[in-house]
Every structure is written in C-alpha cells, then in structure tokens.
Amino acid sequence: MDKKKLLLAGAAILILIVGMMIYSTSKENKYKKFVAEQTQAEVTRVAEEIEAQGAKRWVEIEKDEEGYRIRAERGTTIEIPETQYLLRETLKTGDTETVSYMNGEGSLAERVEISYYDAPKLAILIDDVGMSMGAAGYFGEIDEALTFATIPFLPKSRQATEKLQEDGFEVILHMPMAGSSDSLNSRTEGILLPTMSREKIYDAFDRALEDVGRVDGFNNHMGSRLTANEKKMRELLGYAKRKDLYFIDSNTAVNNLGYPISKELGLPTYYASHFLDNSRDMEDMKREIRRSVGLAKHKGQVLVIGHYHKGLAIAIKEMLPYIEEQGVKLVFARELLETN
C-alpha cells in the first residue's frame, strides 16, 4: 500500500473516531438534559403533591427557604411522593419526620419536615335516646364525631340506635341504674338496683344490651344510688370487662365509684366533666359548648354530656365553626378511654 493510501486510511479512521466521540458526547448531553428535565419535573410534582396535603383537615403547611414545614394532627396520613430521578431520604426523630429529596449530583432539591401533634379533643355524649325519632334528622345534619347513649326498652330504642349507627355515629347503652328517687326507680324498666343479686344484675344487663343492639360500651342513666355501691359496681363492671365493653361514668353524683373501680379493674373508661343543657336556652347551651372547648384546650381532652333534643342539635351544629377555629377536634367517646 502506497503512502497516499495509508494517509487516506488514517484520515478516515480519525474522522470515524472523532465522529464517534461527537456522537457519544451528543448522546450523553441529550441524556443529561433528559435527566435534568425529568428531575425538575419531579421537583415540581413533589411540591404540588406536598401542597395538596394542605387541603386535609388538621394539616398546616408553610414554605420557607429551607423547604416545606407540615404540622399535622397525630393519626393524619401525610402522603410522601415517590420519585424516580430524585433520591429520597427519610429521618425520624421523635414526633418529627424529615424527608430530603436529592438530585443526581447529590444536591438537595427539596426538603419536607413533618411534625405531629395531639389536638385537644372534645367528646360530646348525647344521652336519653330511645323515646322518639324526633331529633334524629337534626343530629343527622352534623357531619362530625358524636356519641349517643340509648335507654333500653323504650319505643324507639333499637330503631334510633340503628339509624344513628347508619349515620356514622357511635352509640352506647344508657344503662338505667338506681338513683335517689324511689318513684322514678320503680317506673324505669330494666333498672339495676343495689338489692339485686349478682346473677340478676348480669341478666338485666344482658337483656338491656340485647334490646338496644350492637354497642361497644355503656354509661349510667341516673345511678347515684347504685354507682355509690362498691360491691354492686364491682360485679357490674367486672362483668362488662368480660364482655369487652367500656364504661363512661356520667358523673351524676359526687360519690360515684364507676370511674375509679373501672380503672382498678382495667376496664376501659372515662368520665363526664359537665352537662351542656341543664338550661335549654340556646345561648346557655352555646356558652356551655364554649366552656367545653376551653376545658379541652386546658386539659387536652374532655367529655361532656347533653341530651337528645332538637335544640342541642342546632346549638352544636351552629358552634362547629367555633370549635374548629379553636383547634379542638370532636371525637367519639371511645377515643378518650383510659385503662389504668
């Protein structure tokens, strides 16, 4: 092969090598550009999905130069976006979770700090369900957690219980127990009396549960005489524990033993702080609701009792914006239970 042909062959090879290098560089640049575009798209999507969490109740979101800060009530689900081009790292410290999104170069692309807190909780227990269905529609307009207590052996006991449960409310048994009035005691069907044997208490309790239908707990209707009787309360509450129920002490007298005995036995329990409708004047009931909100903020949680009537349903519904503005969460009675 002469010299000229060698030069031509060498030039061709050189051109081929240079071309391959240019092609490789171009391909690499295109890939880097593609990755950069996809990474930026993911950063944008992460931001959008994080900000969308702010639509949830009990979630607050702030954005500063360090990233997003989310404050959420404990139990709220915060959805952390999945990514393909961003590396996600999560660090949990106590009640705080920090999520860092890193790009391919190892630089921080976005940061999300989530801190969980316990909102003050208020449980409203509505007593005396069962005589009629008159208030059902008014309470049904309340799209919040409420607990109702049904008296057994009344004309609408089972029907009202089932309607309230269908509406998403919690319902418990409002168990009649001997109070201070002999006349009222004698007129109350299924009432528990201090003179009853343990077997008769068990039987009366079972019949009451069967009458109202499926419930997970109970509180006392009246009861100032029975709830002060340690022996009978131990019999009743011990039996309730074996049936996997819980007990709310209506706190109708100063010498109630229901709450302390329940805690001693390990029966899930709580107690009422006060009543909302000793006066059925609308402004008085709203004042008691405001008082309940204040107690919840001070104590962390509180349970109050009202009664099954149209006026209280209206008062609660009209006070819902105030309750939420104060950062207090309405919960079912079962969410406040203690054991020991």
Please tell me whether residues 144 and 230 are part of one structural domain.
yes
Residue 237 lies in a domain: yes
Question: In this model, does residue 18 exceed pLDDT 70?
Answer: no
| Rounded distance between C-alpha atoms, residue 8 and residue 237, angstroms | 104
> Does residue 275 lie in a domain region?
yes
Return the pLDDT at 154. 98
11 part of a folded domain: no
Domain check: are 170 and 143 in the same one?
Answer: yes
Quickly tell me which residue has 């129920």 as its tokens. Answer: 245
Last residue of one domain, picked from the residues 61, 89, 117: 117
Final residue in a domain of this structure, among 117, 145, 179: 117
Picking from 117, 144, 176, the residue at the C-terminal end of a domain is 117
Q: Do 82 and 129 lie in a common domain?
A: no
Strand order in the sheet with 59-64: 59-64, 67-73, 108-117, 96-102, 87-93
Confidence of residue 340 (pLDDT cuts 50, 70, 90): confident
In terms of domains, do 105 and 164 share one? no
Residues 163 and 282 both lie in one domain: yes
pLDDT of 272 over the 80 cut: yes
Q: For residue 167, give the nearest of 176, 156, 159, 178 by alpha carbon.
A: 159
Query: Which of 118, 99, 121 is closest to 110 using CA atoms?
Result: 99
Q: Cα 111 vs. chain centroid, distance in angstroms? A: 28
Domain CATH for 252: 3.20.20.370
Mean pLDDT of the chain: 93
- pLDDT at res. 90: 94
Q: Residue 27 domain-assigned?
A: no
pLDDT at residue 23, rounded to an integer: 58
- Model pLDDT, residue 255: 87
Q: Are residues 137 and 232 in the same domain?
A: yes
335 confidence band (pLDDT: 50, 70, 90): very high
**What confidence tens digit (pLDDT) does each residue in 292-329 have?**
999 999 999 999 999 999 999 999 999 999 999 999 99
Q: Pseudo-torsion of CA 276, 280, 285, 286, nearest 10°?
A: 160
Total domains present in the chain:
2
**Burial (CB count within 10 angstroms: exposed 0-12, middle 13-18, buried 19+), residue 6:** exposed
Q: Does the pLDDT of residue 19 top 70, yes or no?
A: no
Is there a domain that residue 4 lies in? Answer: no
Whether residue 271 has pLDDT greater than 90: yes
CA distance 147 to 152: 16
pLDDT at 323: 98
In 10 A of CB 206, how many CB atoms?
Answer: 12
Q: Tell me: do 46 and 133 sit in the same domain.
A: no
Minimum mean pLDDT range among 11-20, 97-106, 116-125? 11-20
Tell me the percentage of the chain whose pLDDT exceeds 90: 82
Total-model pTM: 0.84
Hey, is 169 helix, strand or coil?
Answer: coil
Q: Which residues contact 209 (CB under 8 A, 6 or more apart)?
A: 152, 173, 215, 218, 243
Q: At residue 17, does pLDDT exceed 90? A: no
Examine the domain organization and report whether 147 and 261 are in the same domain.
yes
Buried b or exposed e, range 78-95, using 16+ CB within 10 angstroms = bebbebebbeeeeeeeee
pLDDT in the model for residue 303:
99
Which residue range(s) make up the domain with 235?
A: 121-336
Same-domain status, 210 and 132: yes
Statement to judge: residues 309 and 230 lie in one domain: yes
| Alpha carbon distance 134, 310 (integer Å) | 8
Within a domain: 7 = no
Whether residue 45 is predicted with pLDDT greater than 80 in this model: the reply is: yes
Residues with Cβ within 8 Å of 175's Cβ and at least 6 positions away in sequence, in order, are: 152, 192, 205, 208, 218, 219, 220, 221
pLDDT tens digits, 217-263 = 999 999 899 999 999 999 999 999 999 999 999 998 888 999 999 99
pLDDT score of 301: 98
The yes-or-no verdict on residue 16 having pLDDT over 90 is no
